[in-house]
Amino acid sequence: MRWSATPASGASLAHPRAMALPSIRPRSRRTPLFDGLLTTLARAHAEGRLEDRLAFYGKPKLLIVDELGYPPFEANAAHLFFQLVSRRYERGRLLITSNRSVGEWGTVFGDPVVATAILDRLLHHSHDVTIRGDSNRLREKRHPGLIKAPPLEQDPAKEG
């Protein structure tokens, strides 16, 4: 089973809910942020230790990658992430949170071909959860009146 979540920024509940499931709770609560994960893989690649890092990230029953798409990254990083996804494909669960829709991943990864290959593997057995709405952090600040709510979008189907 694979999970991917595409929430609005700050609205993700996928990660906390996954942590509540004892069958998939990792031993460590450390969750790699996407850019940190790519930095680690790039460093390992430069030092000739990429295979060791891929093996390390391939071991957990569940690997949670938080905030895919913050910030955009170089093409080489996309290839490194593809290798990680390929390593885990049909072997281990992968939960990804992102504020980017999968339709934007070609731009995020800087290479539509690599993005398609990654999505092919991720979406094959995935359960996709899309969370729409305001950031939980902004919603808390809006309650006391510190931040105004954004104007509601008009639904074209309801207009007259």
What's the CATH code of the domain at 117?
A: 3.40.50.300
In a domain, 15, yes or no: yes
Total count of domains within the chain: 1
Percent of the chain with pLDDT over 70: 67
pLDDT at position 122, please?
A: 94
Is residue 148 a part of any domain in this protein?
A: no
| C-alpha distances out from residue 5 to 17, 54, 132, 159, Å | 12, 23, 11, 31
Whether residue 140 is predicted with pLDDT greater than 90 in this model: the reply is no
DSSP lists the bridge partners of residue 65 as: 96
Q: Has residue 97 been placed in a domain?
A: yes
Element (H, E) at 67: strand 62-68
Q: What is the pTM of this model?
A: 0.68
The answer to whether the CB of 1 falls within 8 A of the CB of 94 is no
Residue 50: pLDDT band with limits 50, 70, 90 = very high
Residue 110 within any structural domain of the chain: yes
Distances (CA, A) of 3 to 66, 92, 94, 149: 12, 11, 6, 31
Q: How confident is the model at residue 129 (pLDDT cuts 50, 70, 90)?
A: confident
pLDDT score for 23: 47
- Domain limits at 88? 2-142
Rounded CA-CA distance 29/25 in Å is 8
More confident residue, 123 or 2: 123
Instruction: Report yes or no on 156 lying in a domain.
Output: no
Tell me if 90 sits within 8 A of 123, measured CB to CB: no
Please check whether residue 10 lies inside any domain of the structure.
yes
